[in-house]
């Protein structure tokens, strides 16, 4: 996969393609209840199947309720889905960031503050459905920090298929999670244009400070060392 060459910056509206998410709140390191964007991936399916579309102008972040799509639903099956719909309470255990390598290719950066993850999922929302673009599985539980190239995964990580070219003017989202739906890291949105604007060693992630949220840019070493200060159990 090759990201299109660097050029002019023309960001689309960040939430312009978000038509299927329920607004929620960040609350002490987790999202409580499906209606508040629970990170439980089964809750994601309940909202996706039964919630009416929200007006685009009302759509915001974070979008942890969609974190199941693609990778885990197929594995847990319909029985688990039906059994879990009434009680989704999977906690957020950390943060997801995105960076680039020396050639400008995307790198997922995971900081686990509590619990663990064993995979990363990249997806996009086309306004009507969620499209899983790639899955990267780890052969061990990640309990602290990981940087995963989406083009050339490091030792211990396996991609389910080569990633296609990321397109301009498209919002992508990435998060870390577990096959067992025990933990998830807060997803982050990004565009090709944003990747072009950062340097290797910089990370974009969704930051919470004093009740507000924003996309922050920080050195990877700082992200690794301090981001869990934003996490409250």
- Round to whole Å and give the CA distance between 129 and 78: 19
| Residue 184 CA, distance from chain mean position | 9
What are the residue ranges of helices labelled H in 41-174?
41-50, 73-84
Count of beta carbons in the 10 Å neighbourhood of residue 5:
7
Fold for 90-230, please state it.
Immunoglobulin-like (2.60.40)
* Helix and strand element counts for the chain (H, E): 4, 11
State which H helix or E strand residue 81 sits in. helix 73-84
Q: What is the pLDDT of residues 45-102, one digit of tens each?
A: 333 333 333 343 444 444 444 444 444 443 333 323 433 443 455 578 999 999 999 9
In the block, residue with structure tokens 């009507």: 128
By CB atoms closer than 10 A (0-12, 13-18, 19+), residue 79 is exposed
Q: What's residue 3's pLDDT?
A: 40
Q: What's residue 105's pLDDT?
A: 96
| Segments of the chain with pLDDT less than 70 | 1-90, 232-233
């Amino acid at each position: 996969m090759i990201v299109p060459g660097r050029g002019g910056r023309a960001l689309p509206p960040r939430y312009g393609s978000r038509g299927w998410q329920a607004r929620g709140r960040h609350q002490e390191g987790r999202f409580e209840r499906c209606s508040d964007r629970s990170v439980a991936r089964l809750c994601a399916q309940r909202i996706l199947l039964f919630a009416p579309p929200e007006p685009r102008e009302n759509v915001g972040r974070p979008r942890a309720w969609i974190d199941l799509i693609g990778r885990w639903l197929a594995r847990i099956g319909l029985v688990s889905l039906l059994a879990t719909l009434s009680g989704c309470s999977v906690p957020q255990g950390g943060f997801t960031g995105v960076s680039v390598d020396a050639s400008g290719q995307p790198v997922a950066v995971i900081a686990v503050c509590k619990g663990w993850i064993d995979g990363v999922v990249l997806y996009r929302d086309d306004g009507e459905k969620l499209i899983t673009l790639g899955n990267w599985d780890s052969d061990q539980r990640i309990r602290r920090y990981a940087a995963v190239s989406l083009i050339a995964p490091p030792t211990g990580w396996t991609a389910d298929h080569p990633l296609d070219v990321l397109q301009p003017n498209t919002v992508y989202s990435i998060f870390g999670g577990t096959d067992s739906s025990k933990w998830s890291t807060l997803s982050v949105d990004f565009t090709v244009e944003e990747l072009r604007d950062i340097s290797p060693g910089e990370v974009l992630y969704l930051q919470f400070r004093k009740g507000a949220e924003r996309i922050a840019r920080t050195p990877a070493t700082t992200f690794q060392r301090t981001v869990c200060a934003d996490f409250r159990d």
